[in-house]
Amino acid sequence: MQLARREDTRRRLLVVAESRCPENIPLLQEAVKLRLEAARLLGYQTHAEFVLEDNMAKDPASVLRFENDLHERLGTLADKELGELEALKRADKEAAGERYEGLFHWDFRYYANLAKERKHSIREDEVRQYFPMAEVVRGVLDIYQETLGLRFVRVDGPPVWHPDVEMYEVWEADGDEFVGHFYLDLYPRAGKYNHACVNPLRSGFQRPDGSREYPAAAMLANFPKPTPSAPALLAHDDVLTLLHEFGHVFHHLCTKTRWAHFALDGVQMDFVEAPSQLLENWGWEPAVLRRLAVHHKTGEPIPEDLVERLVAAKNEGSGLSNLRQIFFGLYDMAIHNTRDGDVDVCALYRTLREQITRFAGTSESTCGAATFGHLLGGYDAQYYVYLWAKVFSADMYESRFKRDGLADPQTGLDYRREILQPGGARDAMDSMVRFLGRKPNNRAFLHSIGCETE
């Protein structure tokens, strides 16, 4: 989808991909109906009302305002990007002597990637040379130690489940107070979970005698493994993944509540990604990139030119890519905030996608909803949480860390005290207000992706 030059190849692949698992469609239809029935039995008008009551958003109206406001504000940026992609495809069609018939869903990734390559000359094989795993992990750990006021000690010969796993103790930087443990399981192997995630192994809590049970967490990932002749080299996206997943690790370790229930697993669904997304911002800071990135052979720091190109490419296609996220969130709400249990989940998917993403669909009767796993994987009426948390993390970053300086110790301490320490023991909106001094908004997020708001 990203590299195939022939449009028909991309089209056929999309049709095949969105024709998978047709047996899931009646299951989704049934789930929508049963969820609505259960919500009504509990006194709610829709399933979304039932689900959102305990989240930051509190009700469907808040989610719809959030999504629709972003949809409207992203319009100008998306139009500009769409024009650039359309020009690329028109040129391709003209060179091939073919008629231009519009932009389709199977065109998005191909022409977005082409625009990025042509405008910024970013080659992944060039970038990887400057991100050897050992140096990146060391640099990322240093960032977290400085930002959060912590000290990490690597455990020699730890009791772990595989020789590749590393174990660390976490201490307060300014004293001998122990905080907890974390494990790094970073390389692939047979039978291992093949995505990146953080698993809380033990939650912290206060024992009846007043002493503390200390938390522990494990980060699982599948980065390239070093060999005897070559180090593991990371893509820049891998660096962002490390920063992100460590955010979950320290959200868990820095929570300090009386009850284990209010640790990471008790944080509201629409806030749990915000602390991890916050630290991704460090991966776009030129000063941080210079600190993390050295050539794996020569030890030379990453060239200024490459840093500039990486940062410049950050927002390429951000308007259209965020519209895709808005589509997924609004589709989820459309089938879960309805009072009609017989809503046509396939027709609605096709219609909303074309309206929101600006790309035309196929004439064939496909249904991408059949493999939209979030809908039956715990994110029903809650897909919005990804964009919601991203907006709030941008507000925290721009309004406090960026303003006061990334190395400002007071900002880091305020962040630990007001955002991480309460865990799920209080509403995350209250935590945001205490940290920001006001209610959060989407202005910093829009600015961060290059979208003019005024």
Torsion over CA: 294, 296, 300, 306 (sign)? negative
d(CA 279, CA 291): 15
Contact 78, 320 (CB under 8 A): yes
Q: What distance in Å separates the CA atoms of residue 264 and residue 280, rounded to the nearest whole number?
A: 19
Annotated catalytic residue, options 67, 81, 245, 273: 245
- Residue 245 has, within 13 A of its CA and on its CB side, a CA count of 24
CA distances (Å), origin 230, targets 71, 140, 221, 237: 46, 21, 19, 20
Side chain identity at 232, as an amino acid letter? A
Q: How far apart are alpha carbons 121 and 124 in whole angstroms?
A: 10
Instruction: Tell me the sheet residues that pair with 301.
Output: 294
Judge whether 337 and 381 are in contact, CB under 8 Å: yes
| Contacts of 325 by beta carbon, 8 Å cutoff, 6+ apart | 386, 387
Half-sphere exposure of 213 (CA within 13 A, CB side): 15
Q: Residues 267, 273, 277, 279: what is their CA dihedral angle, to the nearest 10 degrees?
A: 30
Tokens, residue 149 = 């006021």
CA dihedral 289, 293, 299, 302 (to 10 degrees): -60
Please report the DSSP string for 260-308 in residue order. Answer: GGGSGGGS-TTTTTHHHHHHHGGGG-HHHHHHH-B-TTT-PBPPHHHHH
CB 218, CB 198: distance < 8 Å:
yes
Instruction: Report whether 282 contacts 249 (CB < 8 A).
Output: no
Query: What residues contact 117, with CB distance under 8 A and at least 6 apart?
Result: 123
Query: How far is Cα 237 from Cα 235, in angstroms, rounded to an integer?
Result: 5
Cα(198)–Cα(211) distance, integer angstroms:
26
126 is catalytic: no
User: Could you give the residue numbers annotated as active site?
Assistant: 245
